[in-house]
Amino acid sequence: MTPTNDLAERPSPVIAFRGAGAGLAGLSLRTGLLNLSTLFFYRFWARTQARRAIWSRISIDGDPLEYSGRVAELLFGALFIALVILIPLSLLSFSVEVIRALWDLPFLILWGPFIYLILRVLVGAALFRARRYRLRRTLWRGLRFDQDGNAWPYGFKTLGYFVLSVISLGWTIPLKRKALTKHVWRRTRLGDAAFTFEPAEEPIYRLFAVGWLSTVGFAVVGVPTLMAISSMALVFSQGSGITVLQWLPFIIAPVIYGAVILFAQWMFSYYEAAVLRWIAKSLRLGEARFRLDLTGGQLAGLRTSNFLLVVFTLGMAQPVAQARRARLITQNLHVEGNFEPASVTAGPETRSDGGEGLADAFDLGAI
């Protein structure tokens, strides 16, 4: 009898999403109203509840993810960052403005750009720490995800690519996305099993160019159109007593700007889908490889509907929008090859290093 290789015969794990995003409508309404009634102080509880609900709906090989984050970690993390960074930085900025008012010191004019660059570093560090916190509070079959490394190199790298993006009018954004993606995934683990990231081929730059050129072209047409309508309305309203024409620009402006935003969302969705496919294709976990069959049209439809959903519910439907995005991605994400969880050692639960306090300070605390 010929021996068989059990690992080779085992089917690849299946990633699935249980239910639909609309299943979180009740949670979204309740937490949204509590957020408004508490002037958004309830956001720490709302975020934790939404994550637990979304995580529990995502399953890998039949077993759901688990979110173990606690409200206290988010709350005290935000308070810590406010006391250690935000308040001292605000007091320092106020002191500089007082000194500028009392003494004519020309070099202090550089304080504004300097503090802005510091904030860009802090935003980058906040994004790194927030991702690390979410991974460390995510478990699957008792195995904990993790992210190694320090947040500050990522923060300074973010600043460098931001400067390049400004100089290049945004044309280096795909380069930034690739570099920062590699930075975090090459530091990501499940238990003691490290992900590997070897960049694959994907037409990212071509799709970004299409999105950039078409969006700029649409804006170039839309803004002059708005200015022409405004001028015509003012001319026809003079001496005619028709005051409604004077309000026409204020009615047309949101429509045109909203159309530009939606158009950009749609066109850049093809670039975003290519980036997500590239990430999946570049990742490995042991012998397991990943494939994402997400198309630009699918992502464009989701982003447009999510944008309208969040806007018309005043942000209360954010958990529903996030769940719909997770559902679309998991439905199109496939695992090829085998991964043996029994060979992985579960990592210990790490202490909270400020949670998402820094991300929350910059309103980066996405679900």
Task: Decide if pLDDT at 48 tops 70.
Answer: yes
Question: What pLDDT is stored for residue 301 in this prediction?
Answer: 93
Distance CA(347)–CA(137), nearest Å, equals 11
Which contacts of 79-84 are long-range, i.e. CB under 8 A and separated by 24 or more positions? 79/357, 80/354, 80/357, 81/354, 81/357, 81/358, 81/360, 81/361, 82/357, 82/361
Binned at pLDDT 50, 70 and 90, residue 2 comes out as very low
- 176-210 b/e with 16+ CB inside 10 Å = b? bbbebbebbbebbbbbebbbebeeeebebeebbeb
Question: What pLDDT is stored for residue 223 in this prediction?
Answer: 67
Question: What pLDDT is stored for residue 83 in this prediction?
Answer: 86
Instruction: Copy the structure tokens of residue 106.
Output: 């020309």
Task: Decide if pLDDT at 47 tops 80.
Answer: yes
Binned at pLDDT 50, 70 and 90, residue 7 comes out as very low
Q: What does the pLDDT look like over 147-204, one tens digit per residue?
A: 999 999 999 999 999 999 999 999 999 999 999 999 999 999 999 899 999 998 888 9
Question: What pLDDT is stored for residue 294 in this prediction?
Answer: 95
Percent of the chain with pLDDT over 70: 82
Which contacts of 7-10 are long-range, i.e. CB under 8 A and separated by 24 or more positions? 7/338, 7/340, 8/338, 10/338
Domain boundaries, the chain: 13-62+200-341, 68-192+344-367
Question: What pLDDT is stored for residue 168 in this prediction?
Answer: 94
Q: What is the mean pLDDT of residues 320-327?
A: 94
263 or 298: which leads in pLDDT: 298
Write down the mean pLDDT value for the chain.
84
Q: What does the pLDDT look like over 233-245, one tens digit per residue?
A: 666 656 555 555 5
Binned at pLDDT 50, 70 and 90, residue 366 comes out as low
For 215, what's the count of Cα atoms within 13 Å in the CB-facing half-sphere?
A: 21
